[in-house]
Amino acid sequence: MQSQQQPPLCLIFPYSPPHFSYSLDARKWTKKMLLDQLQKMGEYGLAYRCYLNEIEANQFFHIDKQFYEKYSKKMRLDLVWIERINKISNKIIENTAACVIQKAVRSMLYSKEEKRYLYCGNVVKEFITTESTYCEQLGVVENLIHQPLIKQEKPLLTPEQMKLIFGGVSVIYGVNTALLENLREKLSVYTQNSRFGRIVLTFTPLLRVYSDYCQIYPQINQLVSSMKVPHPFGTFYKLQMKQAPEHLQGFDLLSLLITPIQRLPRYRLLLKDLLKHLRPSDVDYEDVKKALDEIEKVTSFVNTQSKKQENMEKVVNLYSQIRGIPEDIQLIQPGRELINSTSVLMKQKYVQLIDNGREIKVLTIPSFNQMKKEPNNLLMKTPTITSNFIEKEIQVDLILFTDIILFVEKSKTLFFGEALQFKLVINIGDATIFRNSNEIQICYSEEIVKLTFTNKENEDLWYNILNDTFIHCHDVLQNLQQRRKSLRY
């Protein structure tokens, strides 16, 4: 697959400033223009005398003693006429000076406008140039890898694998190829009236395919990473890439497949830069603004989904490290997100069971209360067993989610090295939080957990984080209950 010779992308037409006639600039006047200006000033008699004596404009512009010596008799000028001519000449000189200043100011302003125009043109050119490179990379995936795989008699990949790896890229390649063709056709030359924003805006609804692709990319990455040489697919890819343009032959497949994820933020940056240098009065301003808004929506959605995916991976990884977590606690739940974590000293009351001065068991308060309700519990029936409350404190990691707080203790095991030992989970929806002078307290069920932080600054920070999470969680639950009530009635 040899790269085809393409015409230059987006030539920038020279800047064309607005044209002004500067008709009051006497330096450019002809005889006729002098007569016209005198008539506009209502000086018909003087215009007629200048016409009869063939007075040049530059003569009238530089009236001096020699002028009057030469033309006073011919033009029949008395003192009144001389004074009148002097006033008119001075007025013409003033107007000419004003034109010179105005022209200089406009020249300076147009120099700035030209720089702004050229900057915008270069941003558009960069957009089209990088779009061409991007489509070339996607074209290698589609034309050298995907299509030849489809035509093979003995498939190297299953239909599911083909769909996962190439399904999204094929759609994106089609969308962006169409966008590039439109840009090439309508913006081969960039001018002050070019409608780049309108072209991009037309295609922004189709860019939503990026959202789906970004969500499945982690799976694509995992699958492709497992199929490198000596896997048959890896060998096939290496062979096919020998037909790619020379500058792309060293790319591995993942380097090409990640380009759509990298391209979307690039669109946003280029359009943002372009909009910054456009004025609201420019023909392209509104369309570029709308296109940027649409792309920011897609980018925001993709970023949110990526964060959710990363969050899920962190939770799964965390779950695999925790030992002793009860079976009824499902850490991975829809909508549950990991917020933050920290190390903290946790104090909690327990019930200590003692038999003849010897500790036989330590229970949490809910566990002890549950035990008392069991009619056939042997410990409760043994008369020599007594109970009393004790407070224990341990160093734990507090792991905050959107709806629960998980406490784990770091421990070392013989076979697994350092591990996390489950200690406690608190459902935020059933708990309240408050603080006193040196600790944060969380009340839930029949217990109180006291948290002590390393310093006041850390305590303040974490109280705010916990309190905000509690408020948000309680608001969500309250709204859910209200919706359920409204559905009931």
Return averaged pLDDT per consecutive 10 residues of the chain, 489 residues in all. 58 75 73 82 82 79 78 80 83 83 76 87 94 96 95 90 94 95 92 92 89 87 88 92 92 93 92 95 94 91 79 83 84 86 89 82 77 78 79 90 92 66 90 89 87 91 95 90 74
Give the 3-state secondary structure of residue 423.
Answer: strand
What is the pLDDT, as a whole number, of residue 94?
85
In whole angstroms, what is the distance from residue 26 CA to residue 28 CA?
Answer: 5
What was the pLDDT predicted at 412? 66
What radius of gyration, in Å, describes the C-alpha atoms of the chain?
Answer: 41
Give the per-residue pLDDT at 484: 78
* Residues 124, 10 contacting (CB under 8 angstroms): yes
> What number of H helices and E strands is found in the chain?
16, 11
* CA–CA distances in Å: residue 9 to residues 5, 128, 130, 138, 269: 11, 7, 10, 19, 20
pLDDT value, residue 421: 87
- Residue 2's Cα: distance from chain center in Å? 35
Asked if residues 392 and 424 have their Cβ atoms less than 8 Å apart, the reply is no
Nearest partner of 207 among 178, 187, 184, 183, judged by Cα = 178
Q: What is the DSSP string of 438-461?
A: S-EEEEETTEEEEEE-SSHHHHHH
Report residue 465 as tokens.
């984080």
**How far apart (Å, rounded) are the C-alpha atoms in residues 145 and 143?**
6
Look at residue 438 in the predicted model and tell me its pLDDT: 84
Q: What is the pLDDT of residue 472?
A: 94
Which pLDDT does position 354 carry in this prediction?
Answer: 85
pLDDT for residue 395: 92
Residue 251: how many CA atoms within 13 Å on its side-chain side? 23
Q: Which helix (H) or strand (E) holds 358?
A: strand 358-364
